[in-house]
Amino acid sequence: MSRLLDELDTVSRRRLLTLAGAGAAGLFAPPLLGRGALAQPVFADYPFQLGVAAGDPQPDGFVIWTRLAPEPLALGHGMPSQPVRVEWEVASDQNFATVVRKGEAVARPELGHSVHVELAGLQPARPYWYRFMAGKERSLSGRAATTPLAGADVQRVRFGVAGCQHYEQGLFTAYRKLAEEELDFIFCYGDYIYEGRGSRLNNSARGPSANPRQYLDGEVYSLDDYRRRYAQTKMDPDLQAAHAAAAWFTIWDDHEIDNNWVSDLDQDGTPPAIFKLRQQSAMQAFYENTPLRPSALPSGPSLQLYRRAAFGRLLELNFLDTRQHRSDQACGDRWNTVCPDIERARTEVLGARQERWLLDGLSASQARWKALAQQIMVMDLDRNPGPEYTANLDSWAGYRAPRTRLLSHIRDRRISDVVVLTGDEHQNFAGELHLDGRNPGPRPIATEFVATSISSAGDGQDQRPDMVRIQAANPQLKFNNSQRGYLLCDVDRERWRSEFKVLDRVSVPDGALSTRIKLAVAAGDPRIVPA
């Protein structure tokens, strides 16, 4: 429960108590946090240039987020070096005619003047609108919906899956399109920022091309570096529109910290004690810029990211962290190769605790659909068909033992209707999961949909020439495409439908969106079929 100074007027206080019952009294925390915070700051420029966001909805509320930054790209983001009071309002209508909750939060300099307000006492399964005020300024409003009550007989859930948004490599048109969909929520699988700079595209379909945009800085290391990278990314109006349209469940992948990091190891062999300092800065900036629950506030180079959410008895989502608790990549993490190391038994993707939590949760789930919403591909595709099997060593395929533990648990406990949602690859894939993709059994164990990228890798093409050969050699892979876009999932009790939305271009504004393919999984049968 957040300890916020609430100054509700009598009407909304009475209304809140009606909504939430006597338990709501605990929301009115001691009036300590607001003291000493600047109440009427005068800003050099508009302080809400990074937009607003909501996240981690539950049946009785969600987190609302903003970050005061009148000069988003300047050191100190144009804010005084002191705490500043921010007011917030939540309404049951778009015009804020009926404000159901309001209060104050403190934007602290230690946290980049971000605020994470945990709302409670709201009604389940309905939309709300929220906004912030600071000094004489007011933010635009955002919309977010609470989730249905646990055990509710939910008929349908519709959500978007997006991530891998390299600011330099393409425009965020896909986010503008995603904002126009009416969604229950958006799952972001990470790579919200990229830590490097200046990787030139070599767009094989149309020849080499310059990046449409550039990051301001070189590779980011310090807290101020990461903050500025988030600021530059979050100033994008299409991204802001997607945040304002629905609540997000956000996880990180590698580039929020460093390419292909796992545990306390980076890819360059930096001493772990030194890499941890960078991780600490990156994790703090991630928290500051993401609508996470305050319980995710990092402590040193550690942040509790994996968590669960449910939509009644229809859908349970397990949001995973396949980076922080993972063993080092096998075989030196060379690209698309393989060595006996991938079979080593004492290896982890989730770490022992998270793996236990996931497997126990899958066994206990009463939901029709059990989703693993995570980063790296579970399909063990042969990436270079020939005499020897080759794997993406940064994916589950490079970790045979934990991959086998996960899939054999699902098979042996007869857990049906498990769908894996994945990012990271910068391509669209749909495929069926077997214990060993090289020798698939008669019946798959689960299904995987891999969403492409919002912008990473640039315009792309329908299918890369090398992927034609890879798809032919991997019969469990049913669909592949290399354009930019997002995935729409439309789930009811009988079917899970996945619609792959692609853009013709992200190198120029106003790319045209189309549905590349609609695929489905029927309840009780993990095979991929046309929708």
Which parts of this chain interact with Fe ion (CB under 5 A)?
164, 191, 456
Return all residues near 329 (Cβ < 8 A) that are at least 6 apart. 260, 262, 393, 394, 398
Among Ca ion, Fe ion, none, the one that 456 touches (CB under a kind-dependent 5 to 8 A) is: Fe ion
Among Fe ion, Ca ion, none, the one that 254 touches (CB under a kind-dependent 5 to 8 A) is: Ca ion
Smallest gap from Cβ 488 to Fe ion, in A, equals: 20
What distance in Å separates the CA atoms of residue 7 and residue 138, rounded to the nearest whole number?
18
Pick 375 or 476: Cβ nearer Fe ion: 375
Burial call 486-495: b when 16+ CB within 10 Å, e when fewer: bbbbbbbbee
**Among residues 127, 248, 104, 137, which one has the least CA distance to residue 190?**
248
Cα–chain center distance at 364: 25
Residue 133, phi then psi, degrees to nearest 5: -130, 140
Length of the chain: 531
Task: Report residue 215 as tokens.
Answer: 């990051």
Smallest gap from Cβ 205 to Ca ion, in A, equals: 22
Output the CA–CA distances (angstroms, integers) from residue 250 to 185, 321, 488, in the order listed. 11, 11, 16
Residue 61 pairs with which residues in a beta bridge? Answer: 58
Among Fe ion, Ca ion, none, the one that 381 touches (CB under a kind-dependent 5 to 8 A) is: none
Pick 290 or 456: Cβ nearer Fe ion: 456
> Which segment (115-123, 126-134, 422-430, 476-484) binds Ca ion by CB under 5 A?
422-430
**Among residues 505, 507, 503, 506, which one has the least CA distance to residue 515?**
503
Pick 191 or 238: Cβ nearer Ca ion: 191
Strand locations in 108-189, DSSP E?
114-118, 127-134, 137-138, 142-145, 156-162, 185-188
> Which segment (8-16, 173-181, 230-238, 246-254) binds Ca ion by CB under 5 A?
246-254
Smallest gap from Cβ 195 to Ca ion, in A, equals: 11
Among Fe ion, Ca ion, none, the one that 448 touches (CB under a kind-dependent 5 to 8 A) is: none
Pick 58 or 322: Cβ nearer Fe ion: 322
Q: Which of residues 249-268 bind Ca ion (CB under 5 A)?
A: 253-254
Pick 247 or 265: Cβ nearer Ca ion: 265
Smallest gap from Cβ 456 to Ca ion, in A, equals: 8
Pick 263 or 422: Cβ nearer Fe ion: 422
Pick 164 or 179: Cβ nearer Fe ion: 164
Return all residues near 466 (Cβ < 8 A) that are at least 6 apart. none
Among Ca ion, Fe ion, none, the one that 288 touches (CB under a kind-dependent 5 to 8 A) is: none
396, 403 contact by CB (below 8 A): yes
Task: Report residue 518 as tokens.
Answer: 């609609």
**Among residues 387, 392, 385, 401, which one has the least CA distance to residue 427?**
392
Q: Does 394 bind Ca ion (CB under 5 A)?
A: no
Q: Does 424 bind Ca ion (CB under 5 A)?
A: yes
Smallest gap from Cβ 208 to Ca ion, in A, equals: 23
**Among residues 327, 431, 453, 316, which one has the least CA distance to residue 382?**
431
Smallest gap from Cβ 450 to Fe ion, in A, equals: 12
Q: Does 195 bind Ca ion (CB under 5 A)?
A: no
Pick 195 or 253: Cβ nearer Ca ion: 253
Smallest gap from Cβ 425 to Ca ion, in A, equals: 8
- Under the rule (CB under 5 A), what is the footprint of Ca ion? 191, 253-254, 424
